[in-house]
Amino acid sequence: MAHAEITNSYVSDIENRGFTDIKMFDTVRGVFTEGGPAFTGAGILEKNHIQICVRNLNSIMGFFVPRTEIDFVKWNIKKYIPTLPAAVKATA
């Protein structure tokens, strides 16, 4: 059954019967198993993945924007060892 048919049946049921047995889902999740075992004796496969489909955008409560990547070692030295000589900081 196509999406339009499901929606039409849903609306028709509500109008004619006052209720419907059709379940409208906000989100759906699919599990896909592909490839061979990730390692000998593994219960997971190399290319297992999950896909999520959000049908009702009101279900999205928030999102994040990935930040710019930094050099963690240099940042760490600058933050926690500020008295380190500049020559040492440059090689980190």
pLDDT band at 85 (very low <50, low <70, confident <90, very high): low
Contact by Cβ (8 Å): 52, 33: no
Domain ranges of the chain: 25-60
What b/e sequence results for 36-74 when a residue is b if at least 16 CB atoms lie within 10 Å of its CB, and e otherwise?
eeeeeeeeeeeeeeeeeeeeeeeeeeeeeeeeeeeeeee
Q: Which residues pair with 50 in a beta bridge?
A: 31
Residue 3 confidence (pLDDT): 78
Residue 89 predicted with pLDDT over 90: no
SS3 content of the chain, % helix, strand, coil (to 5): 35, 15, 50
Mean pLDDT value across residues 9-23: 92
pLDDT band at 78 (very low <50, low <70, confident <90, very high): confident
